[in-house]
Amino acid sequence: MESPNGAASAASPPKGSPPPTPKEAPKRPEPEPESNSSQPRKRQKRRQSSAKVESPKPVVDEPSPKPPSQSPVPSKTTPVPSSTPKPPPGPTGVIRNFIGNQFIASKTRSWSPAFDPSTQKLLTRVPESTQNEVHEAVASAERAQLSWRRLPLTKRREHLYRLTEIFRVNRAKLAQTISLDTGKTLEDASSEVSRSINMCEAAHSVTSVILGYHFYNESTATDTINEPLGVCMAVTPFTFPLMIPMWFIPFALATGNTMVLKPSEQTPMATTLLAEMIIEAGFPPGVLNIVHGGPTVVDQLLAEPAIKAVSFVGSDQAGRHVYDIAVASRKRIQANCAAKNHGVILPDASKWQTLYGLAGSAFGAAGQRCMGISVAVFVGSSIDWLPELVQIAQRLKVGPGYEPGIDIGPLISPAAKAKVEQAIQTAIDDGATLLLDGRGLELEAFPDGNFLGPTILSNVQTYMPCYQEEIFGPVLVCLHVDTLEEAIEMVNDNRYGNGASIFTSSATKAQQFQRDVNVGRIGINVPLLATSGQVSNSSNKDSFLGEINFHGFKGYDFYTSIKTVSSIWREDPPSL
């Protein structure tokens, strides 16, 4: 799971504790004797696999992974709560659109439910906004843009300063809402809030970035001016319902644009809090508008002539659809799509730091993030480390993200869970070996949750769908090659180019990897990091569609156009 600095932390070994050795390998805990207590207990459902080896199940009710310092893992499981845990209270009623700094109830006849992924209890209902409502949101942004762009740059930046401070004050409230909305752990949700604050802080530097340049050549003066595009739109996924909108909003607003946001209909609550904070920060009406709904609302926004730029994060299919329409209508477009991030492990790497890093990156956020490592490429004898990786993953605690001590929360929906389970079964049918099976987990206190434990597949081949396609769940596919050169070739042949990491103690090999691998982001002895707001996103190949990437200096470039002004001033000659 990601810490505030972006590093994977779900399976980090505690300081001062030696790593487990093969002789001290954690054993499967023995179940406690039945008691007369009526307290709910988490149970584990076994499932027979068609793989060649018997697949151990992830532990549901053990503490976070901690290497034993003197003795093996205790045989008894950790005591469970004495009463059924209850999720934090959610909103009531329905989600409203945010247009012109007002929350407006939709007049649509079509509503979709948003559920708590841990319980399947209804949280709220989300409107499929009407075409008139979409048009009004765009019109509100268009009306506000003229006066907003004329506001002095320092004044626009003051609004961002206030928004940043409001985020800090409401950090806990935001994290709790994100955790309830998505199912992710409170630690992950808090990291997301930190990342959102970081994006606001990065946008504060707008003064030094967009002022343009001055050139003078003899009697001619030439100036470049960076001007806002106008009304922009953003379409964001459920994975990071606050952070990803903040990849776009601060940079668009700082440069004098206004924006219409269409968040995921599965996780609408965080952006409702964002709208409240926009009002509190004093932004003028219409500078940010939020309309809710599904693909139809996206198409309606794309059809609006006033929209000049489109930012998108989501699936391959949806990204290609949005990209094609934006290009056809001559809108500026940036679209971040699917990923298949590789972690290359060399035998000279620090074994336990590498394995804990892999586990945290692959299984954190239930594998529902574009920066997680989903492919492990073991080079040479490092393949012998697989049993220890299984032991680490097996001890991760699965449960509702808003409970303390949880490592892996639920998937976003029953459909998402079914899709991941089908991908696992297809891999087994194709000949992959199932080393750890996360399917079939049942938590007695949360029987309807979308829970799936960490899953590890080995003997995977590059032609298999589990390698070719993004699974988007807590599944790590493992491949084996003999040399670093083979690993680099494998990464480069994959159609996705979001990122890759290498784990090695050799600076020479790390430099070779950095030089030769064709991906946008590289980690060296660290899982892929979500870059800070000052650094631009750099995905490539099929992971990104467009010319200019997200946030950082590129973010300012995306939301501005350059105007060049040349001038000559001469005095009239004296009259004869």
Which residues lie across from 227 on neighbouring strands? 561
Distance CA 389, CA 352 (A): 9
Mean pLDDT of the region 23-30 = 38
Q: Which CATH architecture has domain 40-79+340-524?
A: 3-Layer(aba) Sandwich (3.40)
Q: Are 112 and 408 in contact (CB under 8 A)?
A: no
Mean pLDDT of the region 87-93 = 56
What is the per-residue pLDDT for 3?
42
Whose CA is closest to 483, among 344, 340, 384, 352? 344
Distance CA 165, CA 300 (A): 34
- With a cut of 60, say whether residue 70 has pLDDT above it: no
Question: Could you report the per-residue pLDDT of 402-447, keeping only the tens digit for each?
Answer: 999 999 999 999 999 999 999 999 999 999 999 999 999 989 999 9
Mean pLDDT of the region 123-152 = 97
Catalytic option among 200, 232, 337, 370: 370
Distance CA 77, CA 62 (A): 6
What is the per-residue pLDDT for 47?
38
Beta strands 560-568 and 341-345, pairing class:
unpaired
- Residue found under tokens 């696992």: 424
pLDDT band for position 576 (50/70/90)? Answer: low
pLDDT band for position 87 (50/70/90)? Answer: low
Bigger pLDDT: 50 vs 146: 146
- Kindly state the percentage of the chain with pLDDT values over 90: 72
Q: Give the three-class secondary structure for 285.
A: coil
pLDDT band for position 536 (50/70/90)? Answer: confident
- With a cut of 90, say whether residue 147 has pLDDT above it: yes
- With a cut of 50, say whether residue 235 has pLDDT above it: yes
Distance CA 127, CA 503 (A): 46
Distance CA 309, CA 178 (A): 27
- With a cut of 60, say whether residue 133 has pLDDT above it: yes
pLDDT band for position 80 (50/70/90)? Answer: very low
The C-alpha R_g of the chain, in whole angstroms, comes to 26
Domains 40-79+340-524 and 131-337+543-563 are alike in CATH topology: no
Backbone φ and ψ of 91, nearest 5°: -75, 165
What is the per-residue pLDDT for 554?
80
| Rounded-to-10 torsion of CA 99, 189, 403, 93 | 0
Q: What is the mean pLDDT of the chain?
A: 86
What is the per-residue pLDDT for 218?
73
- Residue found under tokens 């649509």: 108
What is the per-residue pLDDT for 473?
97
Question: Could you report the per-residue pLDDT of 152-173, keeping only the tens digit for each?
Answer: 988 999 999 999 999 999 999 9
pLDDT band for position 51 (50/70/90)? Answer: very low
Distance CA 365, CA 270 (A): 17
Question: Could you report the per-residue pLDDT of 286-345, keeping only the tens digit for each?
Answer: 999 999 999 999 999 999 999 999 999 999 999 999 999 999 999 999 999 999 999 999
Question: Could you report the per-residue pLDDT of 341-364, keeping only the tens digit for each?
Answer: 999 999 999 999 999 999 999 999
pLDDT band for position 217 (50/70/90)? Answer: confident
What is the per-residue pLDDT for 358?
97
Question: Could you report the per-residue pLDDT of 376-411, keeping only the tens digit for each?
Answer: 999 999 999 999 999 999 999 999 999 999 999 999
What is the per-residue pLDDT for 34?
37
What is the per-residue pLDDT for 219?
78
What is the per-residue pLDDT for 89?
52
Q: Reply yes or no on whether 478 is catalytic.
A: no
Provide the token pair at 267: 């996780």
What is the per-residue pLDDT for 237?
97
Q: What does the domain layout of the chain look like in residue ranges?
A: 40-79+340-524, 131-337+543-563
- Residue found under tokens 């934006």: 326
What is the per-residue pLDDT for 534?
75
Distance CA 339, CA 365 (A): 15
Fold of 131-337+543-563: Aldehyde Dehydrogenase; Chain A, domain 1 (3.40.605)
What is the per-residue pLDDT for 86?
54
Bigger pLDDT: 307 vs 54: 307
Mean pLDDT of the region 475-488 = 98
What is the per-residue pLDDT for 79?
30
pLDDT band for position 22 (50/70/90)? Answer: very low
What is the per-residue pLDDT for 573?
75
- With a cut of 80, say whether residue 192 has pLDDT above it: yes
What is the per-residue pLDDT for 419?
98
Q: Are 255 and 210 in contact (CB under 8 A)?
A: yes
- With a cut of 50, say whether residue 53 has pLDDT above it: no
Bigger pLDDT: 552 vs 10: 552
Mean pLDDT of the region 262-283 = 97
Sheet holding 521-524, edge to edge: 433-436, 455-458, 475-481, 373-379, 341-345, 499-503, 521-524
- Residue found under tokens 């199940």: 57
What is the per-residue pLDDT for 547?
87
CB count in 10 Å sphere of residue 433: 18
